[in-house]
Structure 1
Amino acid sequence: MHSVVHNKKRSSLFKLLLIVCIILLLTWSLRLNLANTDETYSLELIKHSFWDVIQLDALDVHPPLYYLVLKLLFKVTFISHCSPFIQIVAGRLFSVGCFFLTILILNSLISSLLNRHTSPFVLVLTLLMPSVLWYSTNIRMYALAALFISCELFFIYQFETIGNYSFIICATIFAGAAAWTHYFAAVSAGLLFMVFWFYALFHSHCFKKVWAYTIAGIGLIVLFIPWLTIAYSQLKSVHGNYWIKNSLYDYIGTFYYVHLADVVGLHVFSILAVLFLIVLAFVLTRGIKLLNNSAFNLYFMAISGTMLGTIGLGFLISILMRPIFVPRYVYPIFFPFICFSVPLITLYFQQQPKFNGKVLIALAALGVLTNTVKGVHGLKEDITAVRTVNIDKSFKATVKCNRDTDAQTLFLAYCLPKHRITTTQYKIRTRTVQSEKLFDETFPNVVTHK
């Protein structure tokens, strides 16, 4: 009897935790402030026609698919005619929708590999993991790219299980979509095919599958050919002093929380991030041994290897060619990695709910609480921003921006498209986008004075 009551309490606590997570996600997605300059850029870019979006994006360092999809969404729902704040909410909810769709796809795959039904709500716990809450609500391409990579992985599983070639065709199409969404998503998509190519060659000894993955890899390249020359020119144009060149602290941040460094400082942040990685690696290693499921372990190792390969290639290209790699570029494969980690972490907690489990929970909670506090602070900034916009609308033509950051200046320009926004921060032109020409086209109402 006592055991039944205890289990009911645990179940109730678990459900309460899931509800809190969902509320956190939706609250985060509905925040109004545009502290992130990249989000402002996304919203400004899709104000142009579809063809102009492609032409302007060719001056940047990303493929255009995300912007085209977001513009189409805004156009068919008439959101493009709404206020800037409604557009912000809509842009974030699109990423939230991609997040939940990705959860459903990965949950179906994990349930098949484990040979038991698992609730998709279990994977909502990924919100407690590093930076997921941020990138799953950002008005950027990362949530959509993660969706495409997860779809590719799902159809690879269908092909491996059933053997129907239509599944490898679907996997190739989604890999191509990932490539058109983000360059490092293209790297992850290609590496996934490569991992299963090696597995088919050395383990299953199925040469039909070897040829299938070979053709899939070639197909991925063919699908990307229309953008290939532009991609080359984009990567070649990245110069050494561009903002994309990051420090080691930033790369460690790939595996930890977006805002924690702002609160505790870079050194403490790095120590906590490394500690989290050590504990997570230990828990996952133990979880793999406890699970003892060769099918699940294969896909977990394939995802892990793809993620490490993407990071390694990013470092290599940045060192040998151009500084083009930043931590968030790993997110499209990092999110499936986190989702596949959840069953292993859960199993470890069930078998050995002691020191290491508590440390992992504490480190995860620290990041979530930090992001939440920053989100609450952002809501305060929202009120200030709305008041500022309402006040600045009283000006007839020109608004002088006395704010401190590039993000705030561009946010004001976004909210007041019919006003000229003047600033003395001339370097904003090269700090926020790849070229001055792109800045002038994307933010035509911002006037910079030296």
Structure 2
Amino acid sequence: MSKKGKITFWLFVISILYAVFFMHPTLWRDESFTMALVKHSYTDIINLDSMDVHPPFYYIVLKCYLSITTFWTSSLFIKVIFARIFSYIITLLSFIVLGKTAKSLNVTGGNAIQWAGLFLAPSIMHYATQVRMYALAALLLALLLNQLQHYDNSHKPGHIILAVIFASLASYTHYFAAVSAGWLLVLYFVKFAFQKYDTHSLKISIGLFIGMFVPWGIVAYFQVQSVAKNYWIPPMNWETVLTDLVDLFTDLNTQTMFDLWAAIVLMLLCIYPIIWSYRQMPKKFNLLFSFVMADFMLTAITGLLVSLLFRPIYLARYGYPIYFIFIFFIVVIIGHMLDSSWQRSISHILNFIYGLLLVILIATNVGFALQSQIINYDLRTFNLMESVDGYKAIPRDTINVNPNQSPNAIAQKIVYIDSINKKAKIKDFEIKHLFGNDNRKLFHGAFDNVEMDNIK
């Protein structure tokens, strides 16, 4: 094996081992809500989720998946890990779909070095294993982009039909996935119009995309109206705007300005491969990549404008689905850039310096992220398992939960207590710590094992 092959192999192995540390049964509060919700019937999931601020498709798919893969066990520990595996599998599918999209543009995509680069990039592993809807939204956007590109190549209306379906499913997965999907459709419509293609199919597709969302759109309207002005998302200022723009570019979690600067440095390091791409990569690839970058920016701008004009509603992680696609193509460009460095000595030197800086930054990010993961989740898994074993040994059907713990700890203990068929009793607990809109009906519907009279 060549030196380059060995480096590729070990990076690939490291990326696989890295994922293992994210496969734990410890939950944060939004994940606890997910696991509480999917225990209900499909009808109840839709009814309960209509009181929340997200659409229901992910929860329905996850419940279906868990009913197939974990029918043999009642252990919530196992179910949570399988739920994380589900997100990881979906992310692998996204990688494959985007790799095929790159190959349709005569660009190498989906190899081992690109895999390692993508899965070691900031935020990717965090959301690729989270028991939330972000990984599924990224897959649906990847499929949408793939079908739009196929339509661009062949002009076959079947690709537009599939594109509309994937865009609609993305809308039923996350509202800002709907924003990203909508902007992608608009960008391609503008492209086809300028190139004087037959845009009739795309006009119909945009109409269908909007029409297919109408049934849930009515619910979505009331969900937005139910979000009070004091919703937990912080008010808009320069700090929150900057955070929402760069937060996806770091996993450091040091709670210092170092996180912010590391994210900004990584964003700056993305500029060099972008410039290189416009000079060296095929025009069709660069056009698609331009759409991806524009979509990433337009999604963030849309979220920030709505937050500024009406009420705070946007967080950096809501842009993760299109961020995932952006990072994939950045990694593809870097892979081609490094391959070309063996042909020219000057390029070799520049790319070596760039690669060294990038490796240092990514290694730092992975190191801090892994440390945070182990301390905040992996080690706490043992405490959680001890607590649940202790709850099983208590002869009473009702367990008292300490209200002075963090909301994350309280939420996950409620879910685990429910999994062993016991009720939770919490004194003087404020629901707004789990639901920013202080929705008592949603709380008691999802976490139906909590005694209602002891909660304010």
Query: Fold-level match, TM-score > 0.5?
Result: yes
Residue aligning to 1:255? 248
Show the counterpart of 1:8. 2
Q: 1:102 aligns with which of 76, 91, 94?
A: 94
Where does structure 2 lack aligned partners over 5 or more consecutive residues?
342-346
Q: Note the alpha carbon deviations across 1:348-371, whole angstroms, 9 max, x for none.
A: 443332433322222222111122
Unpaired stretches in structure 1, ≥5 consecutive residues: 1-6
1:26 counterpart = 2:20: yes
Indicate the larger mover: 305-314 or 430-439: 430-439
Q: Per-residue CA shift, 1:81-133, capped at 9, x if unaligned? A: 52010110111011011011111110011122135575266234211212001
Secondary structure of 2:229's counterpart equals: coil
Identify which range, 338-347 or 168-177, moves more after superposition: 338-347
Query: Which aligned runs of 4 or more in structure 1 are off by greater than 4 angstroms?
Result: 115-118, 447-450
Alignment match, 1:389? 388
Aligned CA distance change for structure 1 residues 250 and 425 (closer, same or farther; 3 Å)? farther
Identify the residue that residue 355 of structure 1 maps to in structure 2. Answer: 353
- 1:203-218, aligned counterparts within 5 Å? 204-206=195-197, 208=198, 210-218=199-207
Structure 1 position 211, deviation (Å): 2.2
- 5 Å-filtered alignment, 1:119-138, equals 119=111, 122-138=114-130
| Matched-pair contact (CA < 8 Å) for 1:107–1:123 | no
Matched, 1:419 2:422: yes
Question: 2:344 aligns to what?
Answer: none
Q: Is the alpha carbon distance of 1:137 and 1:375 closer, same or farther for their aligned partners in structure 2, counting shifts above 3 Å?
A: same
Distance 2:300 2:41 in 1: 35
Question: Which residue in the other structure is 1:443 paired with?
Answer: 447
Q: Deviations over 1:364-413 (max 9, x none)?
A: 22111122112222221101110111112222133232362111111111
Give the deviation of 1:252 after TM superposition: 4.1
Does 2:260 match 1:266? no
CA distance in 2, matches of 1:425, 1:214: 54
Alignment pair present for 1:365 and 2:363: yes
1:186 aligns with 2:178: yes
* Aligned-partner Cα distance in 2 for 1:129–1:357: 14
Determine the C-alpha separation between the residues in 2 that align with 1:57 and 1:287. Answer: 45
Give the aligned partner of residue 276 of structure 1. 266
Cα shift readout 1:416-442 (whole Å, capped 9, x = no counterpart): 113332334622445435412111111
Q: Contact 2:248 / 2:320 at 8 angstroms: preserved in 1?
A: no
Distance 1:356 1:276, change over 3 A: same
Match for 1:394: what amino acid?
A
The residue that corresponds to 1:227 in the other structure is 216
CA distance in 1, matches of 2:9, 2:285: 26
Stretch moving more, 407-416 or 75-84: 75-84
Output the amino acid matched with 1:19: V
Counterparts of 1:37-436 in structure 2 under 5 Å? 37-79=29-71, 81-116=73-108, 119=111, 122-202=114-194, 204-206=195-197, 208=198, 210-245=199-234, 247-248=240-241, 250-258=243-251, 260-261=252-253, 263=254, 265-281=255-271, 283-349=272-338, 350=341, 351=347, 352-377=350-375, 378-395=377-394, 396-402=396-402, 404-417=405-418, 418-424=421-427, 426-432=429-435, 434=437, 435-436=439-440
Matched residues in 2 for 1:121 and 1:44: separation?
38
The code of the aligned residue for 1:39 comes to E
Alpha-carbon distance change, 430 to 412 in structure 1, aligned in 2, over 3 angstroms:
closer
Q: Structure 1, residues 244-295: CA drift from partner, whole Å, max 9, x if none?
A: 336346414533234x23x2x23221122112212222x2333213423101
Code of the aligned partner of 1:410: A
Share of identical aligned residues, percent?
29
Q: Within 1, Cα distance between the matches of 2:286 and 2:277?
A: 7
Q: Which amino acid aligns with 1:306?
A: D
Alignment partners' CA distance in 2, 1:407 and 1:160: 46
Change (3 A) 1:226 1:391: same
Checking the alignment, whether the CA contact within 8 Å between 2:21 and 2:374 is kept in structure 1 is: no
In 2: Cα distance, 1:118 partner to 1:314 partner: 31
**Number of equivalenced pairs:** 435
Q: Deviations over 1:34-92 (max 9, x none)?
A: 1x111111110011111000000000011100001111112233448520101101110
Q: SS at the partner of 1:421?
A: strand
Range moving further from structure 2, 83-92 or 243-252:
243-252
Aligned-residue offset at 1:10: 2.0
The DSSP-based 3-state class of the residue aligned with 2:105 is: helix
Distance in 1 between the 2:261 and 2:211 partners? 44
Counterpart code for 1:211? H
Pick closer, same or farther for the CA change 1:387–1:191 going to 2, 3 Å. same
Q: Is the alpha carbon distance of 1:12 and 1:431 closer, same or farther for their aligned partners in structure 2, counting shifts above 3 Å?
A: same
Q: For residues 120 and 15 of structure 1, what CA distance do their matches in structure 2 show?
A: 7
